[in-house]
Amino acid sequence: MPRRLYTCTPSRLNTWLDCPRRYRMTYLDRPAPPKGPPWAHNSVGASVHNALAAWWRLPVHERTPAMAGVLLIRGWLTEGFRDPSQSAQWRERAREMVERYAAGLDPADEPLGVERTVATRTDRIALSGRIDRLDARGSELVVVDYKTGRHILTPDDARGSLALAVYAVAASRVLRRPCRRVELHHLPTGEVAVWEHTDESLARHIRRAEQIAAEASAADEAYKTKIPRPRQGEAVDHTPYDEVFPPRPSNLCAWCDYARHCPEGRAAAPKKDPWAAVLIDSTT
């Protein structure tokens, strides 16, 4: 019989790497455990991404920096902030961020894709994902990913990103044009982290994706066939799952949506307030 392909996204694979228990609660448990409250930094990121995507969909003559700010204001997401004042402060920061970024763009330089879904497959996996922006520069394609977090990005971040490599391979196969360059655009600073892949480095990322997928697929199968699942409404006892889906406690547990369901995670790092990542100084 032909091998059944494991269908996944880079996010699913990275979740397995980060913490198998979180992977289980995210992708396998049904009903899924209730998540914690939404995060303010996710609201900032989504608002910025949505505004830039909408900007590219405007007629060329309307693509001005000021309009990027207008779109940000119109689509501002308020979930996770401490109070309306903090939300308003960040809305203004984000408006300035997208206006400054849009001022450096050529509105007539039409991308090949905005929020474009691409997919590819090997003889083991079927991968898909959504690219923030796909540019055509000369005869080649370029994958552009927007970032809004505090972390200052380097070329190593672009080089090591499984998601960007998958997007490059998928875009190249779908559009039949070379795609080796991947870029992380850090909107808070305006810096761009760039990596030029080779065919060999992209192939290594695909092999890595296949290896991760093989582990996750085997765990999925064990979950379906070997592990007794709790009935709806019962408290989750992690013990039967832990051999296949062990927790990986770290400081990152403070930011996990499922921390309240994970004793090891709570012990590793106290849960953060939903607005913790947007506390830059005492005035915020």
Residue 282 has pLDDT above 60, yes or no: no
- Among 24-38, 73-87, 104-118, which stretch is predicted with the lowest mean pLDDT? 24-38
Q: For the structural domain made of 113-204, what CATH number should be given?
A: 3.90.320.10
Distance from C-alpha of 193 to C-alpha of 147, rounded to nearest angstrom? 10
Residue 19 has pLDDT above 90, yes or no: yes
User: Which residue, 31, 32, 28, is CA-closest to 224?
Assistant: 28
Bridge partners, 246 (sequence order)? none
Output the average pLDDT for the chain. Answer: 93
- Among 83-92, 158-167, 177-186, 241-250, which stretch is predicted with the lowest mean pLDDT? 241-250
Q: What is the pLDDT of residue 32?
A: 87
C-alpha distance across the termini of the chain, in Å: 59
CB-CB contact of 144 with 135 (8 Å): yes
Percentage of residues of the chain with pLDDT beyond 90: 86
Render 181-223 in DSSP notation, one character per residue: EEEEEETTTTEEEEEE--HHHHHHHHHHHHHHHHHHHHHHHHH
Distances (CA, A) of 224 to 220, 238, 244, 258: 6, 15, 12, 21
Q: Once rounded to an integer, what is the mean pLDDT over residues 6-25?
A: 97
CB-CB contact of 265 with 253 (8 Å): yes
> What are the tens digits of pLDDT across the range 214-255?
999 999 999 988 766 656 555 566 677 888 999 999 999 999
Which amino acid is located at 79 in the chain? Answer: E
